[in-house]
Each structure stands twice: as structure tokens, then as C-alpha cells.
């Protein structure tokens, strides 16, 4: 009896009970976890900006889009793994849960090693392709190459967190991110302020904190008395399960990768305007995360909720969960958008006291803040679709809106109507792309028969 109680405490079944409470209680640790991660990334930028300078801040900012590009594919595979784990749990297919957990960790280790090597080798080439200004190129290469050593830990942790979230144990990922956040800030101050290591110190602080969070998550998975317990000897590629994970995860992986490429192109479009706009945009991107990440957390929550209930064939509960998540996401973004719009200059002044950098960041907020509710709608619906295993349609919609449109539009402005090629026109493309994606996602949700897809 005691062992059964322990097992119930280590996972959360979402197939019964209050829908809004279930989604909210599950998503709160995800939200706080993402906000913690964003907080230590933000503090990282603040310390760099205040103790090293605006050029170093620009160097760190220019590498962020590339780092996201390097890990985006593995994040998509982690989504595929989480969908299989949650659906298997909802359908009470316990063997599939065990096999998918061990296969997913094997995939993460392999991808992590390969991506870390790629990040180090291709750092200069990637940064040059982004039109990184010469005055920040040296620091950018140092930061990206040093950070690449820790990408393997980042990727393994993301897979571990995906497994924990899929079984409803999002509190654990919050705990480990909290520990990593505090450690990262301490190491930032130690390496940058005390030892004057500059961008090297910022990257090393991130690497060490990511390694600790990955280790702690693994130790928990190895000790937990539940169906998703990890045994080192079982971590290997089970062919059939690896194919299932990759098949479901590939659309999201491709989506994440191509959107990251789009973000790299958009960052390069900002880079051509110089170091101050680069620093301002990268600073705003840090606080921008406080709007976007909770929305993505709710999207992750509805994916797990739908996965478990879809696996249990509880379709009405799936529909109600979707509407509940939409309302939560929209209310959140409306409140935070208003606050950020009003106080953006005050927040940006925490990163630097250079007026040009602050003005560039405030300008970005004027184009972004009024339209964050569109992201709430788009990602809530995309998360719902993914939970049913239908990952291709959201991939196509997000690629068309967030990638293809932006790339084509920025090239059109740059070469066809160069008179209008300004940083304002680059910023304007973001809310327009969100609107396109939201409209397409709503049309698909209304017209397509996605709830009957994939039952076996």
C-alpha cells in the first residue's frame, strides 16, 4: 500500500477531475520553471551588460538565436517522446512507457553530443552568416564556442523534463530549474565580476548550471519508484520505439529548426543596423520571454492533458481542455503585455545605461506588446493538436507563418523596396506573422476532423 501511494505521488493522471484545476496545477510548475530559466538568462545579460559592456551584451545576444537553432531539433524530438509517454500512460500501456523513456534518453545523448560538436566547429561560419558586426565578432565566437560544450547537458535535461512533464510530474523540473537558476546567477557574479572572465564566464556559468540540472533530473529518474524509472543498462535505442518517437517528433523538430533559422535571419536583419540595435533587441528579447514562455508552458500542459485523455478516448474532455487553455493564455498575455508596454524603458535600463540601447529595446516593445494575445491563441491550438499525435498540420501552419512569410517579406523589403528597409519594418513582420499563423490555426481547428485521427 505504501509503495502504491508513493507511485501515485510521482505522477499525475489527468483523465478525471476538474479540468481547469488540473491544467492550472500542472502548468504552474512549467510556467515558473520557464520563468526561472528566463530569469537567469536575463540576469546573465544584465551582468554582462553592466560589468563587461554593450558590445559583449550584443555578442551574447547575437549567439542566442544560433543556440536556439542548435537545440531546436532535439526539442522537437522531446515533444514526440512526451506525446508517446503521455498517450501510453493514459491508455495504461505500461510497457510502452518504460521503453519510450529509455529510448528517448538514448536519442538525447546521441543528439546532444553531435550538436555540441557542430556548435563548436561551425560557430564562426554561423555568426558570419548572420551579419554579425566585426566589433563584436570576437566575443560572439568565444561565447558560442564555450556555450557549445554545455549543449549536450541542455539537450539531455530537456528530454528528462519532457518525460517528467508527460507523466504529470512538472514540480520536479521546476525544482531542478530553480537550483540551476540560483547557481547560474552565483557563477555569473563569480566568473564575470570577480574573475573578469567576460563572455567566457557567462558561457561557463550556463554550462555548469545546465550540467547540474541534468544530473539532478537523472538521479531522480533513476531512483523513482514508478513505471518511468530509468535503469542505466536499459538506455538504448529500441528500434520500433525510436521510429515512433522520431515519426511523431520529426514534424515538431523540423518546425522548431526552420523557425529557428527564420529567427536567425531576422536577427541578422537587425544586426545590419549596428551594435546598439543588436543590444537593444537582444535585451528586449530577454523580457519578451516573460510574455511568451508562460504561453508555451500552457501549450505544453495542454499537450500532456490531451495526450492522456486522447489515449483514454475522452474526447469531450479534450475539447474542454482546449477552451480552458485558450482563456488562461489570452488573459495572461493581455495583462503582461500592458505592463511591459508601460514599463519597458524602466526594465530595459536594468541591462544598460546607454540611451541608444534602451531606445532600441523600447521601439521593439511598441511593435510586439499589443499583439501577444495572437501567440496565446496560436500556441494553445497547436499544443492541443500535438496532444492527439497530429503534429504535421501545426508544423505546416507555423512554418508558413513564422518562417516562410518572414523570410520572403524581409527579402522583398530589402531588395525590392529598399527605401522601406528599416528596423521598424523588420519589427512589424513579427505581429503580422503571428496574425497569419493564428488565422490559419483557427481555420484548421474548426474545419479539420483532427479528433478522429490516430486511434488504434
Q: What is the pLDDT of residues 352-371, one digit of tens each?
A: 788 888 888 899 999 999 99
3-state secondary structure of 236: coil
Which range, 39-48, 119-128, 291-300, is most confident? Answer: 119-128
Give the position of cell 511523431: 248
Provide the residue ranges of all domains of the chain, joining segments of one domain with +: 2-449
Please compute the mean of the pLDDT values over residues 122-139 and round it to a whole number.
87
Give the position of cell 525510436: 242
C-alpha cell at 376: 496565446
pLDDT confidence band for 3 (50 / 70 / 90): very low
Give the position of cell 534602451: 358
User: For residue 160, what pLDDT is reported?
Assistant: 95
Q: Which helix (H) or strand (E) holds 19?
A: helix 19-51
What pTM does this model have? 0.73
User: For residue 26, what pLDDT is reported?
Assistant: 79
In sequence order, the 6+-apart residues with CB closer than 8 A to the CB of 230 are 101, 102, 105, 218, 221, 222
From first CA to last CA, the distance across the chain in angstroms is 33
User: For residue 456, what pLDDT is reported?
Assistant: 41
Check whether 178 has a pLDDT greater than 90: no
User: For residue 168, what pLDDT is reported?
Assistant: 81
User: For residue 452, what pLDDT is reported?
Assistant: 67
Check whether 124 has a pLDDT greater than 70: yes
pLDDT confidence band for 218 (50 / 70 / 90): very high
Backbone angles phi, psi at 231, to 5 degrees: -115, 125
User: For residue 455, what pLDDT is reported?
Assistant: 42
Please compute the mean of the pLDDT values over residues 402-428 and round it to a whole number.
90
Q: Could you give the residue ranges of the DSSP H alpha helices within 91-133?
A: 94-129
Amino acid at each position: 500500500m505504501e509503495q502504491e501511494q508513493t507511485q501515485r505521488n510521482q505522477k499525475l493522471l489527468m483523465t478525471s477531475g476538474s479540468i481547469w484545476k488540473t491544467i492550472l496545477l500542472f502548468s504552474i510548475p512549467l510556467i515558473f520553471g520557464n520563468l526561472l530559466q528566463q530569469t537567469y538568462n536575463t540576469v546573465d545579460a544584465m551582468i554582462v551588460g553592466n560589468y563587461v559592456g554593450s558590445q559583449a551584451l550584443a555578442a551574447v545576444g547575437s549567439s542566442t538565436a544560433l543556440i536556439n537553432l542548435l537545440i531546436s531539433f532535439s526539442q522537437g524530438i522531446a515533444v514526440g517522446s512526451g506525446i508517446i509517454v503521455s498517450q501510453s500512460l493514459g491508455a495504461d500501456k505500461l510497457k510502452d512507457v518504460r521503453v519510450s523513456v529509455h529510448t528517448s534518453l538514448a536519442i538525447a545523448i546521441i543528439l546532444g553530443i553531435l550538436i555540441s560538436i557542430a556548435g563548436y566547429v561551425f560557430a564562426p561560419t554561423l555568426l558570419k552568416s548572420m551579419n554579425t558586426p566585426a566589433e563584436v565578432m570576437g566575443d560572439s565566437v568565444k561565447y558560442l564556442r564555450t556555450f557549445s560544450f554545455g549543449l549536450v547537458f541542455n539537450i539531455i535535461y530537456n528530454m528528462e523534463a519532457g518525460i517528467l512533464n508527460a507523466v504529470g510530474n512538472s514540480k520536479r523540473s521546476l525544482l531542478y530549474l530553480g537550483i540551476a537558476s540560483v547557481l547560474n546567477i552565483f557563477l555569473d557574479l563569480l566568473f564575470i565580476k570577480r574573475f573578469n572572465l567576460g563572455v567566457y564566464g557567462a558561457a561557463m556559468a550556463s554550462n555548469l548550471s545546465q550540467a547540474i540540472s541534468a544530473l539532478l533530473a537523472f538521479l531522480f529518474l533513476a531512483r523513482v519508484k514508478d513505471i518511468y524509472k530509468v535503469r542505466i543498462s536499459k538506455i538504448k535505442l529500441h528500434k520500433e520505439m525510436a521510429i515512433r518517437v522520431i515519426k511523431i517528433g520529426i514534424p515538431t523538430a523540423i518546425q522548431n529548426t526552420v523557425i529557428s533559422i527564420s529567427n536567425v535571419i531576422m536577427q541578422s536583419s537587425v544586426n545590419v543596423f549596428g551594435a546598439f540595435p543588436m543590444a537593444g533587441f537582444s535585451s528586449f528579447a530577454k523580457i519578451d520571454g516573460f510574455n511568451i514562455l508562460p504561453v508555451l508552458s500552457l501549450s505544453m500542459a495542454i499537450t500532456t492533458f490531451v495526450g492522456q485523455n486522447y489515449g483514454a478516448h475522452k474526447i469531450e474532455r479534450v475539447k474542454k481542455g482546449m477552451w480552458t487553455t485558450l482563456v488562461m493564455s489570452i488573459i495572461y498575455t493581455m495583462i503582461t503585455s500592458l505592463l511591459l508596454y508601460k514599463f519597458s524603458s524602466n526594465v530595459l535600463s536594468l541591462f544598460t545605461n546607454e540611451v541608444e540601447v534602451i531606445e532600441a529595446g523600447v521601439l521593439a516593445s511598441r511593435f510586439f506588446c499589443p499583439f501577444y494575445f495572437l501567440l496565446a491563441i496560436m500556441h494553445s491550438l497547436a499544443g492541443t493538436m500535438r496532444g492527439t499525435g497530429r503534429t504535421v498540420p501545426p508544423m505546416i501552419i507555423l512554418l508558413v507563418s513564422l518562417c516562410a512569410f518572414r523570410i520572403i517579406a524581409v527579402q522583398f523589403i530589402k531588395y525590392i523596396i529598399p527605401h522601406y528597409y528599416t528596423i521598424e519594418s523588420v519589427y512589424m513582420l513579427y505581429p503580422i506573422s503571428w496574425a497569419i499563423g493564428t488565422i490559419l490555426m483557427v481555420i484548421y481547428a474548426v474545419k479539420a476532423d483532427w479528433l478522429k485521427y490516430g486511434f488504434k
